[in-house]
Structure 1
């Protein structure tokens, strides 16, 4: 092998001295002997059970490791340990993703730190802000001791109360959109006290969402629409307990995005020959409900 390489170097040097281009000719047959074959994802007793192209959640070997080169012909199943090392770093293999790229925590001004257990705190908080009870959150997160929910809950009672009071005030000011707002307005004409009693009974909880607030108490009863607020039925209107703040730009933008996406998906379904499918009807209802909300929001914005 050394003699072959030495001969190539000698010929190349001679060409360089003579100001000529080395007449390189590729030998594809010879190169095939040195190709890296792609190893299967799962192999048992020399028998391939799963190839990378048929696998889900696989990455190249060492892709999330900074101390080793990536092996593009070998694949590993994604595991939580990979992300723990990637985001949090290890004492044996070096620093974290945040330290490598000098990503700072705006709260402290120091390099951001990641603790895998923080995700459970974040999930717990999100579920509680969405209106789930401690028992429901414990079931989802697989806790045997139900008293642990209080440790993980970072949503204060004051925060939940402020969200609730803010939405009720929007209804009183006729700045909200939804059936609750319409009913309150109708009752207020005849009897203000009756309207206030209705509002108190109708909005006992608010589950914040990107496109509005849900007044359904998920801790007592699951959502009958499977959280599809805008695909409830075929009347072109959203769920009765959905309340949208007409003055909230983020909610309005989210509803516009939903309407736009639903329209594009409908066109795609039609082009694929599925106009009679349930999927087409679903996105048609979503688009109609979103456009209904946008029309009502536009009316309130003029005031």
Structure 2
């Protein structure tokens, strides 16, 4: 079979598979609206097969730009077949599918320079030249683009769609924090915050506080209260924008004895949280709020419920009456004045033009109405002398064409999409057009929709074409520049606060709805001084007593975090201060002085990021004949078995299964260590364990410059 025939068969096969999905998408269209195929939480749900749309922001000098039109045949069908094949074989989501389509269109830019229109013509040069163009224009995510191009090239070679194999390998290295290591000598400012551009400035936070406590109108307040929740929770923007209406969760704190815990005044102590649907690993979770965040979040939720009552009622009616826009009788007539209650243009004249453009013909024209409405045109003041009467059915048929889909959140179950939340079931909704504050914009009070990430970013100043909440009030940065925040900065800001407060990496990951602990450092924007302050404090101790006093005071004031502090606070609340202090004097008598600071953390609860988790199979751990060693191992085993029992009893918290497995493995290792009988020489506990220290001859380079 010739390669031309293989390409034809490849396209035909993928087209037949795609059409069997019954998505309602026409294969031959140059833009696919894919909501029924690839659900996406964001505002966009289309994939373009046109030559220019969103490929590059700029082009190199002398580069011939093709006219804006559909990709030529057969290349357009090849592009569609590629994304269908990759989606079904890799099970990728909307954003990944759209990215592969963009890379195919970038390849066509290179083909266009030589007048080529068929995938037959593709060679390794086309792929290499595409990367060169991206380098020339300073494309930020060039490694990702190159990796995607390599996937496309490998698919072409696998299916043998060209005369000769491409054998394309991009050879670029991914940017990684490991390669940005700096020695202390290279860091000249100890107060400089790591990646501080990812955090909002102090002026921005002060300005936001002023805005959120003084909303200009109800539409703006809907946006402000949504952003309040973004700040209070620290979740991803699309998780906050899709909070359910009944998101508020309160539950009584239950003590060890199974009884409700009460405060000193007899009031029930409550844990307060907000239910949300995680964007990654789709799950319903609860973000439990810190005590100081509860009033802030409560105000936001309560005000949103009150402010969104009208759009919620309309959305609910439309959801229960598909194909209908409103309760009006289609056969009745409606004047343009009455229609302005539903479609709020700046002037009636604009509404009349809108209906005229959409070919809605008035059934009656009143040329001498007693309207009394005036407007200025060309410097002259005029009166509206004509009132139009329209048939309601004609107006409704036009408006229904742009009615948003009310399936706000979907989940794929057994290969079929299931609606989880409709528009009326969301907390953060408004009418279309309500957030355009730069001038009096058109508000369609027949189109209830959810708050989007773009709405949030526009309010925070990240969308240049729209006026931000700061610009409306004349608020700027300290140097007079525009205040610009993004919807993701509050997440970085809150995670940094958690790090400064001393929360463990496990606690931070759970609070942020994060599955991987190694992602935490990306969100921890601390200064060198803040990261080393604890080490500096240790150097000031004059005696062991000073060190122990420092430890005790840190635990009492919650400045030192870990299981000892948690136990102390629990005993103080449940058993009283006397029992808590007794525990402190008995168990908090030592600090682990490590190269990374002082540590009182219970390592059975969290793998150490600096590889000090000895009982997780470290090859450097040895049993000796040191006095008290056997007793300490038994005590550690007993403690772990007790913790495991409690974890199994209270295993509703998200991620608890991971820590249960960790505890089970540690208990198994502790029992193994107890069986060893050391003599005069130490015995290696885990001879086949994890090698934490890399031999010198295996290191890429030293991490220490001196």
TM-score > 0.5 by shorter chain: no
Higher fraction of helix: 1
Q: TM-score range by the shorter chain?
A: 0.3 to 0.5
TM-score by length of 2: 0.20
TM-score by length of 1: 0.40
Over alpha carbons, which structure has the higher Rg? 2
